Structure 1
Amino acid sequence: MINGIANAPVSFGIFELTTDQDFPEPEAILAPLRDSGYDGIDLGPAGWLGRGEQLQDRLREYGMALAGGWVDMPFTAPDAEFETALSGLDDVLEIFTAAAAVAPERPPLPTLADQGSETRRATPGGAPEVMLDSAGWERLAANVGRAAERVRAAGLEPTFHHHACTYVETPEEIDEFLARSDVDLTLDTGHLIIGGGDPVAAWQRWRDRINHLHVKDVRTEVVTGVLRERAGMRAVWERRAFVPLGAGDLDVPTFMDTVMADGFDGWLVVEQDVAPSPSDPPNRAFDDQRGNREALRPWLPTTPLSR
């Protein structure tokens, strides 16, 4: 049974791409998410939700648990660069462990992801000429293993997020990753579609290795336009390829029927990545996330905490 229903700061334009903007205070996000029927939130940029007791107090006040959080690392970089990234991982793990004390029965999953490269980031969907060779895969798998050791030493279980414009993006690359690593997978429906996969088939193929779930919808026609123009991943966000559930190319009913029938017992995180624009209608993000929660009520009428 689903362990929690979360949303994410990225649904409100709060993520690494937009750190040059002023973010709203966490309370402005936590309250409407709680009122819409979510009982968890993803981390967002490290520190935005607070640290230590401040983070714990915020989560308790709004009846929220931390579901996970994005930790991208240069898994194919030279050793010195990766060592520096490991120090950054240690810092963010302190945030995760503080949050885990709030809801120890359903702790957050630090969500590891590859940083890719400039070439890869310019090629959403991947292409043969930008994929890793055998030596690259060996380096990536070894470094993921080192990061996972740090996460497990902190008393948490890692998950790995396949992501557009990184070296683990396409179904073939996800297969290769899972064959080389004991870290389980965050299945992200939107990014899988961008990478050329089918979410239902992916669920059926990797079900035994999926320990975290990001549900997002995407308009493939927008992504196709970005690919045609070679405009890069930033354009995918800015052109609003990610849309409310049911407005894109994800078959939400079939996917949710399949997940629920298999008794998935991890976190389900609703995401709708957006890069905010001054021309956006007021409260657009809040309305979208309320609507996304309503779209899931046929399968998840209540939150786990209210059962």
Structure 2
Amino acid sequence: MPVPSADVPRLDRLRVGSAPDSWGVWFPEDDQQVPWERFLDEVSEAGYEWIELGPYGYLPTDPAVLHREIAKRDLKVSAGTIFTSMHRGPENWDATWQHVSEVATLTKAMDAKHLVVIPSFWRDDKTAELIEPSELTTEQWKHLTGGMERLAKQVRDEFGLDIVVHPHADTHIDTEEHVERFLDGTDSSLVNLCLDTGHYAYCGGDSVKLIKTYGERIGYLHLKQVDPDILADVQTNGTPFGPAVKQGVMCEPPLGVPALPPVLEAAQALDVDLFAIVEQDMYPCPPTQPYPIAERTRRFLRSCGA
């Protein structure tokens, strides 16, 4: 593992954390996932201070219980996560808001300030079944951008939280073209990005370029890398995201792309406080696999100045 030197920048605007995703957690309940107590124990032992809530219901949803459990491990919550299908139009609003309200209530109770918003998938991440077209119509783009602005305003008004939209593989906000179209179509005072460096690389994007071009729209970071050899195979075979993760397409730093030091330095140059939450998609995984990776990743990030 690299050793910090005097030349390493001090990335003091970045608040490094991790998430249940780095422990192979994708669902509220699943026999292939580690118990939530083990996640909290190990994320703290690995040297992280901040966590995300993960899928709603994985961690305790009683604020008093969750406060007690994270406090005794010296942890704090940076964000909750929600899933949306805004492109499907206003008729989808009520179901969306019911889900958002649950997550936002717990997120606010944990003194966090962000909701990470993940768009719905256009194909099933397990079966590869096509759910809907991968490209939106002009009308659907209007629903998507307008719906996100409505969501951001209501979340801010009712809960005092900011949404950060997460470009994600196999969703309609994925490639550089789609991300830029989304940013150009939304109000920067309401809607900003959670830039996931792994997903953006998976979809062909350049994280450093995005940060330098749309810096004022970067509200949150997920730190992740992609194995370029496995990604090439995934692209050749049209493998959906879920099976690609099982192949190991997301790998621990510094073994993949993008190189994280330039990303971290570009984020630091924005001169705003940003969460930089480590996520390494690896569902499902052996229960003994996540902790050593998490510990090595934390040491690597320290060697980068974070």
TM-score, length of structure 1 as denominator length: 0.86
* Structure 2 residue corresponding to 1:39, chosen from 27, 49, 57: 49
Mark the runs of 5 or more structure 1 residues left unpaired by the alignment. Answer: 101-106, 124-128, 302-307
Match of 1:192 in 2: 200
Match of 1:10 in 2: 21
* Structure 2 residue corresponding to 1:240, chosen from 225, 238, 248: 248
* Structure 1 residue corresponding to 2:227, chosen from 203, 219, 224: 219
Match of 1:146 in 2: 150
Does the CA-based 8 Å contact 2:14-2:268 persist in structure 1?
A: no
Aligned partner letter, 1:10: D
What's the offset of the Cα at 1:240? 1.0
Q: Establish whether residue 297 from structure 1 lines up as the match of residue 302 from structure 2.
A: yes
What's the offset of the Cα at 1:19? 4.2
What's the offset of the Cα at 1:147? 1.6
Match of 1:99 in 2: 110
* Structure 2 residue corresponding to 1:133, chosen from 130, 137, 140: 137
- What's the secondary structure of 1:111's corresponding residue? strand
Answer 1 or 2: higher relative contact order, Cα 8 Å, separation at least 6: 2
Match of 1:304 in 2: none
Match of 2:6 in 1: none
Does the CA-based 8 Å contact 1:226-1:235 persist in structure 2?
A: no
User: For each residue in 1:211-248, what CA deviation from the matched residue of structure 2 results, as whole angstroms up to 9, or x when unmatched?
Assistant: 10011011122122122222211112111111111111
- What's the secondary structure of 2:68's corresponding residue? helix
Q: Establish whether residue 71 from structure 1 lines up as the match of residue 76 from structure 2.
A: no
Cα distance change, pair 78–257 in 1 and its aligned pair in 2 (3 A): closer
- What's the secondary structure of 1:31's corresponding residue? helix
Match of 2:280 in 1: 272
What's the offset of the Cα at 1:6? 0.9
| Corresponding pairs, count | 287
Does the CA-based 8 Å contact 2:81-2:103 persist in structure 1?
A: no
Output the CA distance in 2 between the equivalents of 1:39 and 1:160: 23
Does the CA-based 8 Å contact 1:120-1:167 persist in structure 2?
A: no
Cα distance change, pair 299–262 in 1 and its aligned pair in 2 (3 A): farther
What's the offset of the Cα at 1:22? 5.1
What's the offset of the Cα at 1:58? 1.6
Q: Establish whether residue 202 from structure 1 lines up as the match of residue 207 from structure 2.
A: no
Mark the runs of 5 or more structure 2 residues left unpaired by the alignment. Answer: 1-11
Aligned partner letter, 2:283: A
What's the offset of the Cα at 1:27? 2.5
Does the CA-based 8 Å contact 1:68-1:109 persist in structure 2?
A: yes
Cα distance change, pair 139–238 in 1 and its aligned pair in 2 (3 A): same
RMSD: 2.3
Does the CA-based 8 Å contact 2:90-2:147 persist in structure 1?
A: no
Between 1:262-271 and 1:168-177, the stretch displaced more is: 262-271
Does the CA-based 8 Å contact 1:3-1:267 persist in structure 2?
A: yes
What's the offset of the Cα at 1:155? 1.1
TM-score, length of structure 2 as denominator length: 0.86
Cα distance change, pair 62–207 in 1 and its aligned pair in 2 (3 A): same
Between 1:221-230 and 1:45-54, the stretch displaced more is: 221-230
What's the offset of the Cα at 1:115? 0.2
Output the CA distance in 2 between the equivalents of 1:213 and 1:67: 11
Instruction: Give the percent of matched residue pairs that are identical in Structure 1 and Structure 2.
Output: 24
Does the CA-based 8 Å contact 1:120-1:130 persist in structure 2?
A: no
Aligned partner letter, 1:32: E
The 5 Å alignment of 1:18-29 reads 19-21=29-31, 23-29=33-39
